[in-house]
Amino acid sequence: MAGQEVLFCSVINQLRSSQDALVTVIHWNVISSGFKCCGIGDDEKAKNQKKSEMLPNGWNANQDMYTLRYKDSSEKVHILKIMRVDEDLLVHFMDIKSEKVTSINISTTDYTTGDLSSFDEAFKHLDKLTKQLKKEIIDEITKSSRSGSSSEPSSSRPQRSRLHDDHDPLRVPPRHPHRQPVPGWNDPDDPFSVGRGDLDPFGRTGGGMVFDPFHPGGRRGGPDPSAGLPGRLPRGAVPPGARFDPFGPPGTGPGPDPDHLPPPGYDDMFM
């Protein structure tokens, strides 16, 4: 209590209310737990943050809201906010990094007498208040800070090997789609191949929607002159490069089913 009494006497001329007197008690309990006060307000990046055990200038300028800033031994910033609600004080202590908040409600009349002339006359039941502050405000926040700093970061945790994943009986195996190209089809992964056959019906990739009744599986040269015949023409019956119409539509023998051909008169491949 000696240090707390010295603190009270150092600001006795600044005290304006019983709430001010209780703020000095709360502040001293925070300081006694290894924190240092580095200013007022909740701006953690404020300049000129000189650490001290004393209350900073302007600490009680706002009688409805006290905001003090502290740093622990690891330089982590904590914010103490004390709100006045009638005759009560709502105390919140927050670790900025972890966003952990502890709170307590203190009744002014339970611990102050209203006489601010001296330390002994100003307070009552201080031992009870000190134990309550330590248990519900300070220990909870420091315990959270210690557990947060000692926990292993996720990046350093050992990763499960792929071999282990492949042998996991509960794991759904990934699908490996068949990627062999289909004859007569363009690569579907090539965005520039879309519509290429329609723009160049006589190109090497095929005629797009143009159906070749003589080679339904794709272009493999000129038309088959034996289409529609029950047998095959003898070798040399059609000279190389000669224009030759088949004997008839493919109905029997080699060629597709006649039902696959377009209807009569539908001979414009550009329609």
Please count the other Cβ atoms lying within 10 Å of the Cβ belonging to residue 105.
10
Which of 78-87, 123-132, 238-247 is predicted with the least confidence, judged by mean pLDDT?
238-247
8 Å CB contact between 97 and 76: yes
Question: Does residue 56 sit in helix, strand or coil?
Answer: coil
At residue 230 the predicted structure's pLDDT band, cuts being 50, 70 and 90, is low
pLDDT tens digits along 61-95: 999 999 999 998 888 999 999 999 988 999 999 99
List the structure tokens of 119.
Answer: 């330390």
pLDDT at residue 116 tops 70:
yes
Greater pLDDT, 194 or 3: 3
8 Å CB contact between 69 and 77: yes
Phi, psi of 100 (to 5 degrees): -75, 135
8 Å CB contact between 196 and 203: yes
Residue type, 63: Q
pLDDT tens digits along 190-208: 556 666 666 665 555 555 5
Orientation of helix 18-32 relative to helix 2-10, angle to 10°: 130
pLDDT at residue 239 tops 80:
no
pLDDT tens digits along 152-164: 444 444 455 455 5
Question: Does residue 139 sit in helix, strand or coil?
Answer: helix
Question: What rounded mean pLDDT belongs to the chain?
Answer: 75
What CA–CA distances, in Å, run from 172 to 158, 163, 168, 176? 22, 14, 9, 12
8 Å CB contact between 90 and 19: no
* CA–CA gap between residue 253 and residue 256 (Å, rounded): 9
* CA–CA gap between residue 182 and residue 152 (Å, rounded): 51
